[in-house]
């Protein structure tokens, strides 16, 4: 029985050979994708100091030219041809915007990098405030928190900030602040229900019990 089941499993696993050709093609397609990602992920740490829009762009263009040549020599399957054509087409369409971030330090190359820099800003403000949560600081600077450092950079920038602050409608500002605080509180509750359910429900029960104790008798 055991030997029979072992053989059966071996037979099932071996059946994947039916897709061997397609698997090999997909692996190649995936490999090309990773090659381009490797070209674009040209951090100075990996590449030395010679990373610029020009160097990365030139490597990318060389890769595109080489693949375009191979595309026409008939060595690829229909699937590879179709996928590679589409791949090169999109790269070509967006080429003017694809390699713009390497000449300036800290210019993000992906939205993930951008979000990482926002998280960095959060960390910085958490440290400044000594609080675990930066919401109070966000309330102070509002959506402009990312520009706070630039405004505080020199007298001219500070003056610009003062001019803008002088134009603020205080009532509107208070209203916005109240709305933002409320939105943050809602968000926190949703987060607690999703990630800290056990302790949050316990605290709600505790609040309920305390309220019930202090409620006047009917």
Binding stretches for another protein (CB under 8 A): 1-3, 5-10, 12-16, 18-19, 22-23, 25-27, 29-30, 33-34, 36-37, 40, 79, 82-83, 86-87, 89-91, 94, 97-98, 100-101, 103-104, 107-112, 114, 143-144, 147, 150-151, 160, 164
Least distance CB 129 / another protein (angstroms) = 23
- 138, 122, 131, 129: which is closest to 179 by C-alpha? 138
CA distance 64 to 53: 16
Tell me which DSSP letter residue 99 carries.
Answer: S
Least distance CB 166 / another protein (angstroms) = 14
H or E element at residue 156 = helix 155-166
Alpha helices in 73-169 (DSSP H): 78-98, 111-129, 135-141, 148-151, 155-166
* Nearer residue to another protein within complex by CB, 3 or 217: 3
Least distance CB 93 / another protein (angstroms) = 9
* Nearer residue to another protein within complex by CB, 109 or 126: 109
* Nearer residue to another protein within complex by CB, 112 or 214: 112
Backbone angles phi, psi at 48, to 5 degrees: 80, -160
* Nearer residue to another protein within complex by CB, 173 or 191: 173
Helix-, strand-, coil-residue percentages of the chain, each rounded to 5: 80, 0, 20
Tokens of 186: 């809602």
* Nearer residue to another protein within complex by CB, 98 or 134: 98
Q: Give the distance, in angstroms, between the CA of residue 205 and the centroid of all CA atoms in the same chain.
A: 37
Least distance CB 57 / another protein (angstroms) = 12
Least distance CB 199 / another protein (angstroms) = 31
């Amino acid at each position: 029985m055991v030997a029979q089941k072992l053989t059966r499993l071996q037979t099932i696993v071996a059946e994947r050979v039916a897709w061997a050709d397609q698997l090999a093609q997909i692996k190649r397609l995936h490999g090309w994708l990773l090659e381009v990602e490797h070209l674009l992920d040209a951090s100075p740490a990996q590449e030395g100091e010679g990373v610029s829009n020009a160097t990365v762009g030139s490597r990318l263009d060389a890769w595109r030219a080489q693949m375009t040549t191979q595309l026409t020599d008939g060595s690829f399957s229909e699937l590879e041809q179709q996928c590679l054509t589409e791949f090169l087409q999109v790269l070509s369409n967006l080429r003017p915007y694809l390699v713009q971030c390497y000449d300036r330090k800290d210019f993000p190359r992906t939205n993930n990098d951008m979000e990482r820099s926002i998280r960095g800003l959060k960390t910085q403000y958490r440290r400044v405030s000594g609080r675990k949560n930066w919401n109070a600081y966000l309330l102070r600077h509002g959506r402009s928190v990312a520009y706070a450092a630039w405004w505080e950079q020199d007298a001219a920038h500070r003056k610009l900030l003062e001019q803008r602050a002088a134009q603020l409608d205080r009532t509107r500002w208070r209203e916005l602040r109240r709305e933002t605080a409320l939105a943050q509180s809602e968000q926190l509750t949703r987060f607690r229900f999703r990630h800290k359910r056990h302790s949050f429900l316990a605290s709600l029960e505790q609040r309920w019990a305390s309220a019930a104790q202090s409620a006047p008798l009917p």
